[in-house]
Amino acid sequence: MSAAVIIVAVDGAAGSGKSTLARGLAQRLGVAYVNTGLMYRAVAAASIARGVDLDDAEGLVDLARGLRFRLEGDDPPTLEVEGYVPVDLTTPGVESRVSLVARHPVVRSVLRDQQRTLGATGAVMEGRDIATVVFPDAPLKLFLRADQMRRVDRRADERDADTNVVRDALERRDARDARTTPLEPAPGAIIIDTSDLSIDQTLDEALGAARRVWPERR
């Protein structure tokens, strides 16, 4: 992929700070912010609304094809799913179903095409397989790590939820997700451990890496 197009692939475990970083980086680089997890979450939410079984891959594909994704706003343009507001996509029902939606290769393939279209003119794109499958030639790949305790605390804060409940849900999801796509840095990815970094420090590290790839972007 030509470095002329700004594509930053961001991955990392839940609660590692990847969404906060990805949004901030997109803003600073002047490109779109695409959280691809929302796309899988929207399919999970639709499967609840329509009563589609999680083993019914073709039924889930139909739901995925029926969703409309768009970039809204400008600081940064941000992925939205028509008909869904963010809280619809973080309900316990969605949390418990989403990895079971994401394990179907046919669902992944439909969403992958959409992701490539959304990123065509530049994006900071967050998600499991962005650096390996969706944009394997992304000029910059970032992988965020954090201690499990920090991840649980952050997720509990974000969702205003009980720490023990969050820990259980996170462990179950990590284990399921690892069966679909291993949580490993892609070849060439820059690893940032955010356990002891503030949001600004994490952003500074990522911006430093971006400026080495795109020196003209100040």
Write out the residues near ligand DC by the rule CB under 6 A. Answer: 14, 36-37, 40-41, 98-99, 102, 127-130, 173, 177, 180-181
Helix (H) or strand (E) holding 156: helix 148-159
Q: In sequence order, what are the beta bridge partners of 190?
A: 142
Minimum distance from CB of 192 to ligand DC (Å)?
17
Q: Tell me the C-alpha distance between 124 and 26, whole Å.
A: 5
145 vs 211, beta carbon nearer ligand DC: 145
175 vs 208, beta carbon nearer ligand DC: 175
Minimum distance from CB of 20 to ligand DC (Å)?
12
6 vs 14, beta carbon nearer ligand DC: 14
Minimum distance from CB of 193 to ligand DC (Å)?
18
184 vs 212, beta carbon nearer ligand DC: 184
- Residues 65-81 as b/e (b if ≥16 CB within 10 A, e otherwise) read eebebebeeeebbbbbb
Q: Tell me the C-alpha distance between 71 and 12, whole Å.
A: 23
